[in-house]
């Protein structure tokens, strides 16, 4: 396979000409990456629109067998930029994102907010970095098995796990507005918890996909 | 006698003719002026050859040359003179040399985008050039959009789409970084409120482009206007050069001035049908322009009912693209003899040239008149244009003073960069698109106070890095490109929001009982709830329309300019207008069928106005004659001045309001003419500058009208809240003469 000699981009282009991006073969491109090169990303925002700001970025990564999640919360409009800067510091050495609907939402959103501030300088355009979007693989791998493929539904269906006391993603902005109005940190904690659980869930669902598709 | 003259003569022996042709003006033919064709690449030459073009017209060559020099260029030659080629050549040349170069084409209407795409596709095919282009608008599939952003050299879009996608600029990174040209075709459409919004939209675009290091050249084309350079410089904030001398040839044109009132009892619309049918039956390809979609359907129906042997079609917005393409093709290949159209065909859609054009109802501006008339004259052949005015002062004035048409004294296209509501909305959009380092958001506009207001309102937040948008909603959804204020009233149909309009517009178009037009459909309003901010509407196909009746009160807020004359003072400045809505009329074909009261709280807005403070001597001059009534005279003078204002300021009579006071609060008799939009739109400002011309034409209008005591052709206003009472035509002449 000559494309393999040219590395990932050539293989990716070759696959893209024949298969949908949610195809198993795209998932198998994981073998091109070491675990340490993956960055698991999930964000919480004020709205679905890029004109509004990011509240929270959760980013998880492997160091050997250890998995760390770092979370950055923008409690004020002033701190969104700092959140983006901290996130950018995690990028060196990372070669692919793992996200849940992040090809459409999370990564372009972060990219958009970085561009909004005219920076910060990232090593590369993050939208062109490889992105393993677990949502699409889930739909393909468990085709016609479930009614819903949301992250929470997948967690329940595949991992058999129900989150205790978690808020819904759609409620994040309400909690944040309450926080802004009261400055009471009790409204921020559920957002941070929700975001962290989302990052963990991505790792675990990815492992299930690996089990089902590879092992 | 040639064929066109035969046609005009033959009409005179028809039953529907009773001397309505008051004169026929011959507009001489002009020959083609070619220029030494600038050196063009073999592929461009190949394309020109495929079109049978051996040399470029002078205006095309000049446009190519100026654009090559890096100038921003506005091309103002008439319809079908080959403006498009003038800018497509340099754009494609650049793309040929620089494969990554990109260009953004902005069109005001969808049909025109399609036309341009077809032209570019044909250029690609016949030149052998290889480039990507496509239409990017609300109907474009998201995958196609993505491909265009990533690969296209030329993206064709419209202002509404641009307004929505600007915040997503990172996705356009490749396209914007390489952007060399912004093409604004049919730029004259961007006048008034819409144009003032577009001026800020373009500044937002420039601001976003700066992030990507792009500073493209601007290229525009427009119908003839008085002030192309001034207009484009205001619209874009860039320096412009105009290309105006037309090198394209045209045959002799016969302009027949037709006075429908000379056949009493036969409506203008029936007479339009008469000429259309007669001309089409005699094998002259004929296009009649009418003022509404309904009329285009009605006149076609009447023609078909009267004589089914000749096919007459109608053309208007609201038809499916396929239907429109079909009619356009039939017009172009000559297979259809007669079409009745709204101004939808006035724009640069390629339908070739026709033998006879009927302009039924003045299209509002001299510029539009010649856009429509420009459809006449196939390949140097003679053609005819019939002009039939509707019952209106300005329209009749033009019939009687046809030198206004033939001298081509075009109007000024007016936009305002000073409307506070428009500025505030776009400043907010801009800050939501990219962080602002300071309060100066646009290079050439003072935005500081607006930013400060947004900061104190919490919409914008000062951060150590800069000014950041802090809202949780998209400001782009609240800023409407065809309004001066944020939409505060949601028009709902079956629980769904049809559109959001300002309170001012809602008073006129969304009160209980109003017929509201949206996208070619009629909706009847059943409730307007100002407290909750909604109006309920139901889609109903009705053939009547509604007009509100109101009284106005004007308060002077500040004086910006003053000119002292012998017996009057002319002022320009800010005023507060309070409107008292008394009721509304329901009309059908111009006739009032009912009048109903309205219960709405008075509405105030600040705007710009021109006002004339009359010296006591004018009052005395009127009162010298016992038969004259001063109150009626000042009222009539106000109406007549407003009626002719659109001759200078490219606007509609409905864009202007007026109020006359026999005794104003300062004790002087005063006439106010104000911009009918919150914050003003630049019309009164322009009228201040050309006031003496306005007065002399108004005198000609009033004295030249054959009526004795005033009529809709001179001093009656269709908008008057007092039913044109009191009105004194002869007294108005005395006042107007004093204003000279």
Instruction: Tokens for B1, please give them.
Output: 């006698």
Alpha carbons B83 and B457: distance in angstroms, whole number: 47
- pLDDT tens digits for B16-42? 999 999 999 999 988 899 998 789 999
Q: What residues does each domain of chain B span?
A: 3-28+257-406, 42-243, 420-477, 489-542, 549-738
Q: Which positions ≥6 away from B560 have C-beta within 8 Å? A: B572, B573, B574
Interface probe with A: pick from B468, B469, B476, most Cβ of A within 10 Å:
B468
Q: In the prediction, which pLDDT does B77 show?
A: 87
What average pLDDT does this structure show over A136-147? 88
Return the number of other C-beta atoms located less than 10 Å from residue B594's C-beta.
12
Provide the CATH number for the domain formed by B42-243 in this structure. 3.40.50.300
Closest CA to B370 of B72, B78, B665: B78
Q: Which residue has the tokens 């500044």?
A: B203
Q: Which positions ≥6 away from B370 have C-beta within 8 Å? A: B78, B79, B223, B224, B405, B408
Q: In the prediction, which pLDDT does B487 show?
A: 57
Q: What is the ipTM of this complex?
A: 0.83
Q: Three-state secondary structure along B171-191?
A: HHHHHHHCEEEEEECCHHHCC
Alpha carbons B386 and B383: distance in angstroms, whole number: 10
As its CATH architecture, domain A33-213 has 2-Layer Sandwich (3.30)
* CA of residue B712 relative to chain centroid, distance: 23
Q: How far is B417 from chain A (nearest CA, A)?
A: 25
Determine, for residues A78 and B169 on separate chains, whether the beta-carbon distance falls below 8 Å.
Answer: no
Q: HSE-up of B229 (CA within 13 Å, CB side)?
A: 7
- pLDDT tens digits for B572-627? 999 999 999 999 989 876 678 899 999 999 988 899 999 999 999 999 999 999 99
The neighbouring-strand residues paired with B575 are B556, B607
DSSP at A157? I
What average pLDDT does this structure show over A10-19? 78
Q: Which positions ≥6 away from B530 have C-beta within 8 Å? A: B489, B503, B506, B600, B601
Instruction: Tokens for B451, please give them.
Output: 């930013």
Determine, for residues A52 and B473 on separate chains, whether the beta-carbon distance falls below 8 Å.
Answer: yes
- Strand positions, DSSP E, B615-661: 656-661
Q: In the prediction, which pLDDT does B590 show?
A: 64
* CA of residue B311 relative to chain centroid, distance: 31
Q: In the prediction, which pLDDT does A1 show?
A: 41
Alpha carbons B257 and B396: distance in angstroms, whole number: 10
Nearest to B465 among A46, A49, A81 (CB): A81
The CA R_g of chain B, rounded to the nearest whole Å, is: 26
The neighbouring-strand residues paired with B103 are B154, B181
Q: Which positions ≥6 away from B282 have C-beta within 8 Å? A: B7, B10
Residues in chain A: 215
Which residue does chain B place closest to A128, by CA atoms?
Answer: B171
**Mean pLDDT (chain B, rounded):** 91
Q: In the prediction, which pLDDT does A3 show?
A: 44
CA distances from B339 to B288, B311, B353 (A): 6, 9, 13
Do the domains B42-243 and B3-28+257-406 match in fold? yes
- pLDDT tens digits for A151-208? 988 999 988 888 888 998 889 999 999 999 999 999 999 999 999 999 999 999 999 9
* CA of residue A117 relative to chain centroid, distance: 22
What average pLDDT does this structure show over A142-157? 89
Nearest to A51 among B171, B465, B469 (CB): B469
Of A20-34, B141-155, B301-315, the one with minimum mean pLDDT is: A20-34
H or E stretch at B235:
helix B228-236
Note which residues in 49-88 of chain A have CB less than 8 A from chain B: 49-53, 76-78, 80-81
Contacts of A76 in chain B (CB under 8 A): 461, 463
Q: Which residue has the tokens 């997503």?
A: B168
What average pLDDT does this structure show over B662-682? 93
- Phi/psi for B315 (5° steps) reads -140, 130
**Among positive and negative, which fits the CA dihedral B547, B548, B551, B553?**
negative
Closest CA to B612 of B702, B504, B698, B726: B698
Determine, for residues B461 and A116 on separate chains, whether the beta-carbon distance falls below 8 Å.
Answer: no
Q: Is the pLDDT of residue B650 over 80?
A: no
A122 — pLDDT class (breaks 50, 70, 90): low
Q: Which residue has the tokens 């009493």?
A: B264
Instruction: Tokens for B679, please give them.
Output: 């914050």
DSSP-derived 3-state class of residue B598: coil
Q: How far is B453 from chain A (nearest CA, A)?
A: 18
Alpha carbons B343 and B372: distance in angstroms, whole number: 8
Closest CA to B376 of B352, B399, B398: B352
Alpha carbons A135 and A158: distance in angstroms, whole number: 13
CA distances from B437 to A33, B173, B519 (A): 40, 21, 40
Q: Which residue has the tokens 């002799």?
A: B252
Alpha carbons B202 and B216: distance in angstroms, whole number: 12
Q: What residues does each domain of chain A span?
A: 33-213
* CA of residue B588 relative to chain centroid, distance: 24
- Strand positions, DSSP E, B150-275: 154-157, 179-184, 217-221, 241-243, 253-258
A21 — pLDDT class (breaks 50, 70, 90): confident
Q: How many residue contacts between A and B have a Cβ separation below 8 Å?
A: 67
Instruction: Tokens for A160, please give them.
Output: 């058999």
H or E stretch at A66:
strand A66-73
B207, B442 contact by CB (below 8 A): yes
Check if B472 contacts A (Cβ < 8 Å).
yes
Determine, for residues B474 and A51 on separate chains, whether the beta-carbon distance falls below 8 Å.
Answer: yes
Check if B463 contacts A (Cβ < 8 Å).
yes
How open is the CA angle B292-B294-B297, to the nearest 5 degrees? 115
Q: How much of chain B, in percent, has pLDDT values that exceed 90?
A: 65
Contacts of B471 in chain A (CB under 8 A): 51-52
> Fold for domain B3-28+257-406?
Rossmann fold (3.40.50)
Contacts of B464 in chain A (CB under 8 A): 78
What average pLDDT does this structure show over B518-524? 77
Whether cis (ω within 30° of 0) applies to the bond prior to A120 is: yes
Please indicate whether residue B603 or residue B447 has the higher confidence score (pLDDT): B447
Q: How far is A51 from chain B (nearest CA, A)?
A: 5
Of A28-37, B425-434, B462-471, B623-632, the one with minimum mean pLDDT is: A28-37
Please indicate whether residue A5 or residue B250 has the higher confidence score (pLDDT): B250
Q: What DSSP string runs through B113-163? A: HHHHHHHHHHHHHHH-----EEE-STTS-HHHHHHHHHH-SEEEE-HHHHH
Q: How far is B469 from chain A (nearest CA, A)?
A: 7
């Amino acid at each position: 396979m000559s494309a393999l000699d040219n590395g990932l981009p050539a293989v990716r282009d070759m696959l893209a000409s024949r298969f949908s991006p949610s195809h198993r073969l795209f998932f198998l491109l994981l073998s091109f990456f070491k675990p340490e090169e993956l960055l698991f990303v999930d964000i919480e925002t004020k709205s679905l629109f890029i004109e509004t700001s990011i509240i929270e970025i959760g980013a998880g990564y492997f160091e050997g067998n250890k998995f760390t999640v770092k979370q950055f919360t923008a409690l004020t409009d002033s701190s969104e930029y700092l959140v983006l800067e901290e996130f950018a510091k995690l990028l060196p050495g990372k070669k692919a994102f793992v996200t849940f609907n992040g090809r459409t939402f999370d990564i372009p959103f972060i990219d958009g907010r970085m561009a909004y501030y005219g920076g910060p300088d990232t090593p590369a355009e993050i939208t062109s970095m490889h992105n393993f979007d677990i949502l699409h693989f889930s739909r393909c791998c468990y085709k016609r098995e479930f009614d819903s493929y949301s992250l929470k539904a997948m967690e329940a269906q595949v991992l058999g796990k129900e989150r205790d006391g978690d808020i819904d993603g759609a409620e994040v902005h309400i909690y944040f507005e309450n926080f802004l109005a009261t400055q009471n940190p009790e409204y921020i904690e559920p957002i941070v918890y929700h975001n962290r659980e989302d990052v963990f869930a991505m790792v675990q669902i990815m492992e299930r996909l690996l089990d089902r598709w590879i092992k | 006698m040639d064929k066109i003259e035969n046609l005009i003569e033959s009409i005179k022996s028809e039953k529907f003719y009773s001397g309505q042709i008051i004169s026929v003006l011959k507009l001489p033919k002009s020959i083609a002026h070619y220029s030494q064709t600038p050196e063009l690449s073999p592929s461009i030459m190949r394309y020109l050859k495929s079109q049978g073009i051996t040399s470029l017209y002078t205006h095309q060559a000049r446009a190519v040359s100026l654009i090559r020099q890096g100038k921003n260029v506005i091309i103002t030659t008439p319809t079908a003179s080959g403006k498009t080629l003038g800018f497509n050549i340099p754009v494609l040349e650049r793309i040929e040399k620089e494969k990554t170069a990109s260009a953004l084409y902005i069109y005001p209407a969808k049909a025109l985008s399609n036309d341009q795409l077809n032209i570019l596709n044909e250029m690609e095919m016949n030149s052998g050039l290889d480039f990507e282009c496509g239409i990017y608008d609300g109907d474009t599939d998201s995958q196609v959009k993505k491909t265009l952003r990533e690969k296209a050299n030329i993206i064709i879009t419209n202002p509404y789409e641009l307004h929505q996608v600007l915040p997503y600029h990172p996705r356009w990174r490749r396209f914007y970084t390489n952007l060399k040209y912004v093409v604004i075709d049919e730029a004259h459409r961007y006048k008034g409120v819409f144009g003032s919004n577009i001026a800020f939209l373009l500044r937002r675009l420039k601001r976003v482009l700066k992030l990507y290091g792009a500073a493209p050249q601007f290229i525009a084309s427009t119908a003839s206007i008085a002030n192309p350079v001034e207009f484009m410089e205001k619209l874009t904030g860039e320096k412009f050069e105009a290309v105006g001398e037309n090198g394209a040839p045209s045959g002799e044109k016969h302009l027949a001035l037709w006075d429908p009132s000379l056949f009493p009892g036969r409506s203008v619309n029936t007479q339009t049908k008469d000429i259309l049918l007669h001309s089409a039956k005699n094998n002259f390809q004929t296009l009649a322009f009418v003022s509404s979609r309904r009329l285009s359907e009605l006149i076609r129906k009447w023609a078909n009912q009267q004589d089914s042997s000749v096919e007459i079609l109608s053309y208007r917005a609201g038809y499916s693209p396929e239907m429109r393409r079909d009619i356009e093709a039939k017009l172009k290949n000559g297979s259809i003899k007669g079409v009745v159209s709204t101004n939808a065909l006035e724009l640069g859609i390629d339908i070739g040239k026709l033998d006879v054009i009927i302009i039924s109802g003045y299209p509002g501006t001299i510029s539009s008149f010649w856009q429509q008339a420009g459809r006449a004259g196939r390949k140097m052949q003679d053609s005819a244009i019939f002009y039939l005015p509707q019952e209106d002062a300005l329209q009749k004035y033009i019939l009687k003073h046809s030198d206004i048409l033939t001298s081509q004294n075009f109007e000024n296209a007016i936009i305002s960069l000073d409307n506070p509501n428009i500025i505030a909305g776009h400043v907010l959009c801009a800050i939501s698109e990219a962080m602002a380092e300071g309060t100066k958001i646009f290079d050439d506009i003072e935005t500081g106070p607006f930013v400060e207001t947004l900061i104190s309102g919490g919409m914008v937040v000062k951060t150590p890095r800069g000014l950041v948008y802090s809202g949780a909603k998209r400001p782009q959804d609240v800023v409407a490109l065809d309004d001066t204020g944020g939409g505060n009233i949601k028009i709902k149909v079956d629980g769904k929001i049809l559109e959001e309009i300002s309170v001012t517009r809602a008073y006129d178009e969304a009160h209980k009982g109003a017929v509201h037009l949206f996208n070619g459909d009629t909706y009847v309003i059943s409730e307007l709830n100002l407290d909750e901010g909604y109006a309920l509407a139901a889609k109903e196909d009705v053939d009547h329309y509604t007009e509100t009746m109101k009284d106005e009160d004007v308060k002077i807020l500040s004086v910006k300019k003053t000119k002292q004359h012998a017996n009057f003072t002319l002022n320009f400045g800010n005023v507060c207008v309070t409107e008292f809505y008394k009721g509304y009329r329901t009309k059908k074909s111009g006739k009032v069928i009912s009048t109903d009261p309205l219960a709405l709280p008075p509405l105030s807005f600040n705007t710009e106005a021109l006002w004339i403070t009359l010296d006591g001597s004018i009052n005395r001059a009127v009162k010298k004659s016992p038969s004259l009534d001063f109150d009626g005279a000042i009222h009539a003078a106000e109406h007549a001045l407003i009626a002719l204002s659109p001759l200078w300021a490219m606007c509609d009579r409905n864009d202007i309001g007026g109020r006359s006071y026999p005794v104003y609060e300062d004790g002087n008799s005063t006439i106010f003419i104000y911009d009918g939009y919150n914050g003003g739109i630049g019309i009164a400002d322009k009228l201040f500058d050309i006031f003496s011309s306005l007065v002399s034409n108004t005198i000609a209008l009033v004295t030249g009208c054959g009526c004795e005591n005033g009529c809709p052709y001179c001093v009656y206003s269709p908008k008057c809240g007092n039913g044109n009472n009191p009105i004194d035509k002869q007294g108005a002449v005395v006042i107007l003469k004093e204003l000279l």
